[in-house]
Amino acid sequence: MDKILIIGASGQIGSELTLALRKVYGNENVFATDIKQAPADVVESGPFQILDALNDKALIHFVIRNKITQVYHLAAVLSGNAEKLPLQAWEINMKGLLNLLDLAKEVGLKKVFWPSSIAVFGRTTPRVNTPQLTVTEPNTVYGISKLAGERWCEYYFNRYGVDVRSIRYPGLISHKTEAGGGTTDYAVEIFYDAIKEKKYECFLKEDAALPMMFMDDAINCTIQLMEADASKISIRSSYNLGGISFDPKEIAAEIKKHIPEFEITYKPDFRQQIAESWPKSIEDTVARKDWGCEYVYDLPKMTKLMLEEIKKKLSK
Ligand code: AKB
């Protein structure tokens, strides 16, 4: 029986992935950890413990004591926040991953998942339908840490046989946990402000198109990748996932269909520069061919569900 450790279970991806994995592997077999308290449904549905993954001794003790066989390492400082404290962000983003890869090698973990990002691309990358293999010259500290992380993942696979798998997530959109410190956060904030204020001031320009994905699709793809037979995984750095692409003007127009009085205004800040260095859309045929990734949510379907769910949440 697999025993799964989630590092970063209180965050945007971690809190939802923990619940999804508990459905597949059983509540008691998915150990949620973070340096901060997790949402009530994560704490109440199975084991949760405060754990700092940068502490390599605490991490190895946890893994051995609980007979962990798979680890999902989701803790990271995202693009916007990382620019405020670059060296600290580098330390957090890299040290946690390197601790884990080395531990995987030493104790022989069966599988490791680590998230990369569209942030590995930069100004010299083709921005439309960005291919799996292309120029990667990131301009942000977050992107540099993700690109270095991808190289380390591939290195540990090639050199030591560590079965590490990864996805370059686009911006993730969820009604359960709010995003924190990223460039794509506007696409979550906009729903809350649309419902509460009927207006939103966007920190990106109206035509700043970026690849995005509804969280349910991201969770399903992640589990699909981790369950795929190892022989199907041809990419050991990180897989492109396309999702859906839109700009602030398009999502605002979609929201207006449900809230006609909604208005968006634009006041671009430093994150506009980051957005301009990232792809507008992503090509993901390799992921589709290797392990059959698929998405269910397009912009209209996602917008409708986000508005319904956030309205429910805010009226509680
Ligand atoms: C961010 O905006 O920093 C993240 C990402 C695209 O990796 N959401």
Q: Please identify every stretch of the chain with a pLDDT value under 70, giving residue numbers as ranges.
A: none
How far is 172 from 217, CA to CA, in rounded Å? 9
One domain, residues 141 and 271: no
Supply the CATH number for residue 49's domain: 3.40.50.720
Tell whether 236 is covered by a domain.
yes
Residues 6+ apart with CB under 8 A from 133: none
User: Could you tell me which residues come within 8 angstroms of residue 55 by beta carbon, excluding any fewer than 6 positions away?
Assistant: none
Residues 98, 193 within the same domain? no
One domain for residues 224 and 272: no
**Atom 6 of ligand 1 has which residue's CA nearest to it?**
171
Q: Please count the structural domains in the chain.
A: 2
Position 316 scores a pLDDT of: 86
Same-domain check for residues 220 and 235: yes
Task: Tell me: do 192 and 44 sit in the same domain.
Answer: no
Same domain, 208 and 99: no
Any atom of ligand 1 within 6 Å of the Cβ of 79: yes
Residue 52 falls inside a structural domain: yes
Confirm whether 295 is a catalytic residue. Answer: no
Structural domain including 253 reads: 173-212+243-280+296-315
Question: Is pTM beyond 0.85 here?
Answer: yes
- The verdict on 97 and 180 lying in the same domain is no
Same domain, 226 and 165: yes
Shortest CA distance to 284 belongs to which of 167, 149, 139, 183? 167
| pLDDT for position 107 | 96
Do 130 and 235 reside in the same domain of the chain? Answer: yes
Same domain, 186 and 74: no
What pLDDT score was predicted for residue 174?
96
Strands 70-73 and 111-117: parallel
Q: Is residue 287 part of a domain?
A: no
Partner residues linked to 202 by β-bridges: 266
Whether residue 249 is found in the same domain as residue 160: no
pLDDT tens digit sequence for 255-284: 999 999 999 999 999 999 999 999 999 999
90, 143: one domain: yes
Residue 118 CB–ligand 1 contact under 6 Å: yes
Protein residue whose Cα sits closest to atom 8 of ligand 1: 171
Provide the CATH number for the domain around residue 194: 3.90.25.10
Domain annotation covers residue 286: no
Q: Is residue 289 part of a domain?
A: no
Q: CA 142, CA 150: separation in Å to the nearest integer?
A: 12
- Position 17 scores a pLDDT of 98
For residue 288, tell me if it sits in a domain: no
Residue 165: predicted pLDDT: 98
The residue whose CA has the least distance to atom 4 of ligand 1 is: 182
Alpha helices in the chain (DSSP H): 12-25, 40-45, 56-65, 79-84, 86-107, 141-160, 186-196, 215-227, 248-256, 270-277, 285-291, 299-314
Do 64 and 44 contact (CB within 8 A), yes or no?
Answer: no
Residue 285 lies in a domain: no
